[in-house]
Amino acid sequence: MFKKILIANRGEIACRVIKTARKMGIKTVAVYSDADKDARHVELADEAVHIGAAPSRESYLQADRIIAACKKTGAEAVHPGYGFLSENEAFAKKVEEEGIAFIGPKHYSIAAMGDKIASKKLANEAKVNTIPGWNDAIESAERAVQIAKDIGYPVMIKASAGGGGKGLRVAYNDKEALEGFTACQNEARNSFGDDRIFIEKFVQEPRHIEIQVLGDSHGNVIYLNERECSIQRRHQKVIEEAPSPFISEATRKAMGEQAVALAKAVKYQSAGTVEFVVGKDQDFYFLEMNTRLQVEHPVTECITGLDLVELMIRVAAGEELPLTQADVKRDGWAIECRINAEDPFRNFLPSTGRLVKFQPPVESLTASQPNAADDYGVRVDTGVYEGGEIPMYYDSMIAKLIVHGRDR
């Protein structure tokens, strides 16, 4: 097992990883920007290394500085958290080449699932349900209209490299398809430097349901039930829960088995999430695979009693999964609410500055102990403290409130 790991992230997820590492007796190294010198994750870690200026492109996205910090401190492994470099194939590969373990999937798995067009083709090959559509890059707006007609309206126009609600349009007719293609292409070019666009059938009254998978280097892959993530704002999740109140046991099993098939197809080792869109008739279709730990992982930890970060660390150290599919339990119901620093009087724009008052509820569950003595309770994952500063340079989410009960 590793003696020391570095967390290449900040905020609540860095604090979350540190808690589990501490439980496992592993020393931790934090990295921080100018804006985060007094941040909570810096205080919690055993060591901290400054990696640059406040903007993330000058600090948390600087792969070479993070690798240098590993060498300086003797960290044997890197946990990337989510966001920043967590799904960066080049970073994962460079870390491995430097003899440092990447606490996440192998670089080739990240590459296989990182491109929406390529991942959909892989999903088809793995016999995973995919939404009817045109999966190759579309060269012009006129061609987009023709394809949309062939598929049948409504259609979803999507950027291959899209995410976070960017590069996404729904079209109900030719005019909207023409305009939507152009808008998506411009948005994708400006946001991702990749203007490839594809089109698929738009599933009406859709639900966003995802399956948590876990694989190791010994060829084992299991699924840890589902998460319901349909409550969104601006195409971003706000409330997540496990299990889903919508799907049947048969649908759950079918989705889980397809998620495992896809993970095995890309030789997946670590925690990952296969996202599906589910129609009102419970037909489900593959959306994408997130090759990292999800923001909403705590609800899965609550109902399964597993510490996903611990399992990620153990898998990265070469250990075999300590459980089989038959051992996975589903106990009670868990709901997570994301807490964002926003100004409701300014159309919910991010709000920065000193956090004057912060009084989270008393925890009866923790990240490193997903189940309390009585199995149910309250958990708060956060990276802030009362009197601390909320910088303007990063995501506005400052905490997550997770509750676990006997039923919904």
- Report, as residue numbers or ranges, the catalytic residues: 288
Distance CA 318, CA 213 (A): 17
From residue 27, how far is each of 19, 46, 78, 105 by CA, in Å? 10, 6, 12, 22
- Kindly report each contact of residues 203-206 with a partner whose C-beta sits within 8 Å and lies 24 or more positions away, as own/partner: 203/131, 203/277, 203/278, 203/279, 203/285, 204/154, 204/279, 204/280, 205/279, 205/280, 206/230, 206/277, 206/278, 206/279
Pair of tokens at residue 131? 């939404």
Among residues 276, 161, 165, 122, the alpha carbon closest in space to that of 213 is found at 276
Rg (CA), the chain: 21
CA–CA distance, 384 with 99 (Å, rounded to integer): 33
Cβ atoms within 10 Å, residue 117: 16
Question: What's the length of the chain?
Answer: 408
Contact 157, 171 (CB under 8 A): yes
What is the 8-class DSSP label of residue 266? T
Stated as kind and residue range, the H or E segment containing 308 is helix 308-316
The span from the CA of 13 to the CA of 41, in Å, is: 9
Peptide bond into 80 cis (omega under 30): no
Phi, psi of 315 (to 5 degrees): -65, -45
Cα distances (angstroms) measured from residue 262 to each of 220, 289, 307: 13, 9, 23
What are the tokens at 257? 């088995």
